Amino acid sequence: MDLDYKRAFVEYMIEADALKFGDFITKSGRESPYFINTGAFDTGAGIDAVGAFYAACIIDNMERGLLPRDVAAIFGPAYKGIPLAVSACAALARDFGLDVGYCFNRKEPKDHGEGGNLVGKKLQPGDKVIVTDDVITAGTAIREVFPILRAAGADAVGLVISVDRMERGRGALSAVEEIRRDLDLAVFPIVTVKDILAELDGRTVNGALILDEDRKRRMEAYMERYC
């Protein structure tokens, strides 16, 4: 995939109906003029395409020197992060020749067979791991799995997400900034809400103007209030 992936990802979210404009209530109870649903990538072609965007973001940040190249695995927190990690791994191998492992956690530890609460590549002490997730709201999933990675001796070197909504979390900082502060973990979004606005402002996707003046005004007002 071409590393000019941000515009392509915004367009793909529109085409897949994963990015919607209207009236929505977020997990935090805020009335939002837009909504992102990565569950809309629910076909083989859809999750394959999304994995390619995650892989492009990973490679982009490796080339910028922000992520190390000697990564052992891509980790997907249960449940939404699992298909993202697997598809990103497949795309890294196919599109960039980077073959790394994938793993994910069980919600309930297995008490038979090999046991444990991790599935996939067996992490070794010192292994560098990139975590994948969808949209960070409160960062609950990554906060839950971070102790699991530490217990395995793995080093989480970055968190790759689809969209950074850039909204305040529990305090004055954004949810992503809180993750950086609390876990000392760098976060890499494929796009931010500002990228979405910039890419869609005055542009058509498949012949339709997605961000008309009313939607743009509502988006800007929401961002001014919560971002």
Q: 212 is in which domain, residue-wise? A: 5-226
**Using one digit for the tens of pLDDT, what is the confidence trace for 177-224?**
999 999 999 999 999 999 999 889 888 888 888 888 899 999 999 988
Q: Higher-confidence residue: 79 or 1?
A: 79
Q: State how beta strands 101-110 and 116-120 pair.
A: antiparallel
- Does residue 19 have a pLDDT over 60? yes
CATH number of the CATH domain containing 19: 3.40.50.2020
Overall domain count for the chain: 1
Structure tokens at 133: 């997730």
Q: Which amino acid is at 195?
A: D
- Does residue 137 have a pLDDT over 80? no
| Secondary structure of 89-106 as H, E, C letters | HHHHHHHHCCCCEEEEEE
Q: State how beta strands 128-132 and 73-76 pair.
A: parallel
pLDDT value, residue 67: 97
Distance between the two ends of the chain, CA-based, in angstroms?
Answer: 31
Half-sphere exposure (Cβ direction) of 194: Cα atoms closer than 13 Å? 5
pLDDT value, residue 115: 52
Question: Which residues are marked as active site?
Answer: 110, 112
pLDDT value, residue 143: 86
Q: Higher-confidence residue: 197 or 168?
A: 197
- Quote the pTM value: 0.91
**Using one digit for the tens of pLDDT, what is the confidence trace for 64-95?**
999 999 999 999 998 889 999 999 999 999 99
